[in-house]
């Protein structure tokens, strides 16, 4: 039911905006682009998210070892490029990658909600709601 989650998220955002309007307070929203987030996720953030969820250090080490020394090359009409180190993101095509990404995203959202900022997750997107521009800009940088 993807339509429902999107509809619910829009309804929630509108309700928040109405409450801000009733209180005559400014409302700041941001909609960060998560399209390439799988490829850009800092691996240190992944390991910290696993620790935060109580995953044993031994298992984190096993997962980290799977990521150490990751390299990629690109096949072009002129041949294969030289290999380059892959130091960020989750592995494409790995059964573990969606789990690592979602667990890390959940950890980030929990961190964002520690302050006055609120988040709305919907259909692979995220909306950030804040009382002031400075708080919103700080959280977007995460």
| Torsion 34-110-63-141 (CA) sign | positive
2: helix, strand or coil: helix
pLDDT interval class at 117 (50, 70, 90): low
Identify the CA nearest to 26 among candidates 129, 139, 137. Answer: 129
Among residues 95, 94, 89, the alpha carbon closest in space to that of 34 is found at 89
Q: What is the DSSP letter of 116?
A: S
Better-predicted residue by pLDDT, 8 or 63: 63
Question: pLDDT-based confidence at 28, cuts 50/70/90?
Answer: confident
Is the model's pLDDT at 1 over the cut of 70? no
Kindly give, in sequence order, each residue whose CB lies less than 8 Å from that of residue 50, ignoring residues fewer than 6 positions away: 59, 60, 63, 100, 103
Q: How many domains does the chain have?
A: 1
**What pLDDT is recorded for position 29?**
82
Range of the structural domain that residue 118 is part of: 2-140
Can you tell me the distance from the alpha carbon of 83 to that of 88, in angstroms, rounded to the nearest whole number? 15
Confidence bin at 4 (pLDDT 50/70/90): low
pLDDT value at position 85? Answer: 92
pLDDT band at residue 142 under the 50/70/90 scheme: low
Say what the pLDDT of residue 2 is: 45
């Amino acid at each position: 039911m993807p339509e429902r989650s999107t509809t619910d998220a829009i309804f929630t955002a509108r309700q928040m905006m109405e409450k801000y309007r009733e209180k005559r307070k400014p409302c700041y929203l941001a909609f960060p682009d998560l399209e390439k987030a799988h490829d850009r996720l800092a691996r240190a953030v992944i390991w910290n998210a696993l620790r935060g969820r109580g995953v044993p250090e031994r298992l984190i080490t096993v997962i980290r070892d799977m990521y150490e020394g990751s390299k990629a090359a690109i096949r072009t009409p002129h041949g294969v490029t030289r290999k380059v180190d892959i130091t960020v993101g989750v592995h494409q095509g790995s059964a573990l990658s969606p789990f690592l990404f979602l667990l890390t995203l959940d950890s980030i959202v929990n961190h964002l909600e520690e302050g006055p900022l609120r988040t709305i997750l919907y259909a692979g997107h995220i909306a950030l709601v804040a009382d002031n521009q400075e708080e919103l800009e700080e959280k977007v940088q995460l």
